[in-house]
């Protein structure tokens, strides 16, 4: 189908305005994401309705800990991504069109079918996840529109590289996002992702201003983005520019894809990063990929008591009532708590 958010240029070229790469694409060529193609001056999306993955997940897997905790989310994805992260966790599907000569796979599915499957599975939300939802924006938009009308929440798990135009367009139907803030230096983004930090920060600030509920995730990679000063700057940005109530997830790296020369993140590094976040004023800082360390539990920032007891993605107990700590009455920030 014809893509959204592009403009025609001279000589049958087009400019895609969906993500901040803003690719200028010649006739017969694709954008950097490899799933949007210029066909005689018309930009087409090649992944509309071609789902490579459909699954029922706990909302905590996204990870979202302050958005309807303990609920289920119907997760969908197509192939493709507008980043080239050397540590990609889902490279087999995210990088498929790039690494396999433009190959696009997936089972055909309509937005109506996704919404119906969500209802049948007893899910409270739909998550556009696993790969980058921006590259299948048209399908996400149409699905979210239908879902929203039925009272189903919509979630982007994203690298945050969409344009302001895209965010404004989907804003009426997008309820929450978990955004990967992969590092806090332009050099890291350029070298390891093929992108720019500046645009991710802009998207995060815009999301918050639009009323989209935001949680932030950072995968800590030894020697690349775990410098104390860099983490202090990142935590300060989240606290000061997004708000101290914004949950920050610090995840453990394991060697994968094209980044296998680095060891797994030491647990001590994760714990130190959590302390940096708390010192910066963040009320909710979590550790990911280390179940059992206690970093997945929600504590009251005021009295320190455990409010949501988790083991991995499983909620064992939720002691928040009407958005308040049942021990001291502090307001616990989030949606559907």
Residue 298, pLDDT > 90, answer yes
Instruction: Using pLDDT thresholds of 50, 70 and 90, give the confidence band for residue 155.
Output: very high
Average pLDDT over residues 179-204: 98
Average pLDDT over residues 135-161: 98
| Continuous segment of H or E residues that includes residue 232 | helix 228-237
For the stretch 233-264, pLDDT in tens is: 999 999 999 999 999 999 999 999 999 999 99
Q: Which residues touch 321 (CB under 8 Å, ≥6 apart)? A: none
104 to 57, 80, 81, 98: CA distances (angstroms):
24, 8, 12, 10
Average pLDDT over residues 286-297: 91
Instruction: Using pLDDT thresholds of 50, 70 and 90, give the confidence band for residue 279.
Output: very high
pLDDT of residue 174: 98
Average pLDDT over residues 257-285: 97
Residue 162, pLDDT > 90, answer yes
pLDDT of residue 294: 85
Q: Is 261 exposed, middle or buried (0-12, 13-18, 19+ CB in 10 A)?
A: exposed
Average predicted confidence (pLDDT) for the chain? 97
DSSP letters of 233-284? HHHHHIIIII-TTS-EEEEE---BTTB-SSPPPPHHHHHHHHHHHHHTT-S-
Cα dihedral across residues 51, 52, 55, 61: positive or negative: negative
Residue 223, pLDDT > 90, answer yes
Global pTM value: 0.97
Residue 292, pLDDT > 90, answer no
pLDDT of residue 72: 98
Residue 293, pLDDT > 90, answer no
Instruction: Using pLDDT thresholds of 50, 70 and 90, give the confidence band for residue 151.
Output: very high
DSSP letters of 279-326? HTT-S-EEEES-TTSSTTSEE-TTT--EEEEEETTEEEEE-EETTEET
pLDDT of residue 132: 98
pLDDT of residue 308: 98
Average pLDDT over residues 178-204: 98
pLDDT of residue 218: 98
Classified as helix, coil or strand, 66 is: coil
Residue 45, pLDDT > 90, answer yes
The upper half-sphere exposure of residue 84, i.e. CA atoms within 13 Å in the direction of its Cβ, equals 12
For the stretch 53-90, pLDDT in tens is: 999 999 999 999 999 999 999 999 999 999 999 999 99
For the stretch 81-126, pLDDT in tens is: 999 999 999 999 999 999 999 999 999 999 999 999 999 999 999 9
pLDDT of residue 128: 98
pLDDT of residue 291: 84
Residue 177, pLDDT > 90, answer yes
DSSP state of 84: -
Instruction: Using pLDDT thresholds of 50, 70 and 90, give the confidence band for residue 127.
Output: very high
């Amino acid at each position: 189908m014809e893509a959204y958010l592009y403009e025609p240029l001279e000589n049958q070229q087009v400019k895609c305005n969906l993500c901040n790469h803003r690719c200028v694409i010649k006739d017969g060529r694709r954008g950097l994401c490899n799933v949007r193609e210029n066909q005689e001056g018309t930009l087409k999306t090649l992944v509309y309705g071609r789902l490579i993955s459909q699954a029922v997940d706990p909302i905590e897997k996204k990870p979202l800990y302050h958005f309807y905790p303990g609920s289920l989310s119907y997760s969908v994805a197509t192939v493709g991504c507008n980043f080239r992260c050397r540590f990609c966790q889902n490279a087999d599907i995210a990088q498929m069109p790039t690494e396999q000569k433009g190959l696009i796979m997936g089972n055909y599915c309509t937005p109506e079918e996704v919404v119906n499957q969500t209802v049948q599975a007893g899910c409270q939300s739909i998550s556009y996840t696993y790969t980058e939802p921006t590259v299948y924006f048209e399908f996400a938009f149409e699905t979210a529109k239908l879902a929203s009308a039925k009272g189903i929440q919509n979630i982007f798990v994203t690298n945050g590289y969409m344009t302001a135009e895209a965010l404004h367009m989907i804003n009426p139907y997008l309820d929450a996002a978990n955004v990967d803030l992969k590092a806090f230096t332009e050099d890291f983004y350029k070298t390891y992702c093929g992108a720019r930090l500046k645009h991710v920060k802009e998207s995060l600030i815009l999301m918050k201003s639009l009323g989209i509920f935001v949680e932030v995730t950072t995968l800590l990679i030894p020697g690349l983005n775990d410098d104390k000063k860099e983490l202090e700057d990142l935590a300060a940005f989240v606290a000061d520019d997004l708000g101290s109530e914004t949950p920050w997830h610090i995840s453990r790296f394991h060697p994968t894809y094209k980044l296998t020369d680095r060891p797994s993140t030491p647990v001590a590094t994760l714990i130190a990063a959590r302390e940096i976040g708390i010192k910066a004023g963040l009320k909710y800082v979590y550790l990911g990929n280390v179940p059992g360390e206690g970093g997945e539990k929600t504590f009251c920032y005021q009295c320190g008591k455990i409010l949501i007891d988790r083991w991995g993605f499983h909620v064992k107990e939720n002691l928040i009532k009407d958005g308040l700590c049942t021990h001291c009455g502090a307001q616990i920030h989030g949606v559907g708590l």
